[in-house]
Chain A
Amino acid sequence: MIVIFQCYGGTHTSVVAASVYTRALPRGRPPRVRDLAALPYFDRLGHGQMGNLHFIGKDQEGNLVFALGSAGWGDEIRQLIASFLAVIDFPQPVAVVECLKYVTPLTRLGGILSRRLGLPRFGRPLVSLGVKRSFPLLLQLVETFEQDPSFFLLK
């Protein structure tokens, strides 16, 4: 199985959820700012990188895990991916875990400051705070996925 965590820019919420899933981030407490800053791709990708799949790591079964930014078109992009996978007769299942609804206003504001306006010094602390606040929900999402991945499979 290939696992894709999807959000708006593919650089904040999806990266954090994917890192929780791959256990690159601890689950027992919200991540610290330095934990987040150490994640590859966290708050580092711009608008032009949306649509690219960024490799985050492997899960415990060895499945490849990616982060993907789809702007506000996550649902449409999932449908197009599903159709395309059917076309090329893709040999393994692909699961997409949508994280957009867990993006907090703080994360959004921080993301705009950091990625769109090029002010990471101001934006990154806000993003980190926003991610910390949404961490329990992201953890719940990851655990829901772990319990029943079939619900997230593209068909």
Chain B
Amino acid sequence: MASNGIRDRVAIIGMGCTPFGEHWDKSVDDLLVDAATEALNSAGVPIDAVDAFWLGTLFSGQSGLTLSRPLKIDYKPVSRLENFCATGSEAFRNACYAVASGAYDMAMAIGVEKLKDSGFSGLPGLAAPADGTQAAITAPAMFSLLAPAYCKKYGLDEALLKDVMTRIAWKNHKNGALNPRAQFRKEVTKEVIACSPLVAGPLGIFDCSGVSDGSAAAVIVRAEDAHTYTDTPLFVKALSFIAGPAAGPIDPDYDYTTFPEVVASAADAYRQAGVKDPRAELAMAEVHDCFTPTELILMEDLGFAPRGTAWKEVLAGTFDLDGELAVNPDGGLKSFGHPIGASGLRMLFEAWLQLRGEAGPRQIPSVARGRKLAMTHNLGGAPGECVSFVGIVGSERSA
């Protein structure tokens, strides 16, 4: 019994990512065609070269036909999957395993979500028929439960925590301002963030990720084949996915200052990748900043800061673009919104750009200094009841 991983067995040879935003003029089909075409062009292969497809989407379609129909895929396996907010990363993980197993030579992972057509603020519901006893609070409210618990545990006053949350939103918008694919491409002042209308608990509108449409895709081959297609592939170092027992909301021992699922998936991923000190070894981390307190707690759960200290590191700029470890260099969910099925692959797209030195004005300096690893992370669900994905990719195959 072990989580062995598939370190260096598969590689990414091409990626595509649409701009994220309010695509009133584009359908789900359009977004899929755009992302798939960009990824295939990036890899320099025709769609016929791809042997199997994994499509991640939560709300925007069911079955493999959601992808095969717009792309006119000729009689190939197309799997459609969802795993909450880790949906895009799950499409990638499963495609990687298919190639690593030898079942296919080349696979595509693609994620898409069109949220803006519903007309709702936030996410639409999709509950199965139920007994009416589930708490009907919104996603920002669920994650805002973290704020008073964190303050209480570490003795922070609420105003200080608000400053920390504001700094996270400010940093991610600052990064997003440098990214042509982001939904929000301008810096936002701390004053505007801090004074934005409250949504849930201490969370203002600017503490919440936006609602957008988008799609992203990756083409995957066996690692030994990668250089046939590109001089600069990314090698998959670790893929970890964890579903927790969802016991936090019924277990008095859970204290709402951590995501145990993230801790477990990070430990698994570091073991697979051979990472000992993530803060010193990673060039960047794209983490699931659905709400600003989430990013704060992730810094501790992912091992970037000791328990109870991430707030100080945030204020000190440790996770800024030019900080010790750049977190959400592309602007994060804050700047991109969160089209569920696409987000994980959008994060991977940033790793693709950064580790290959193609990130332009937001290029992380530590890559040039020799850091070669990037993390992508998603969590889906709510505090105490979530799924977590941690992936690590690198620009060099270990000897």
- Asked if A pairs with B, the answer is no
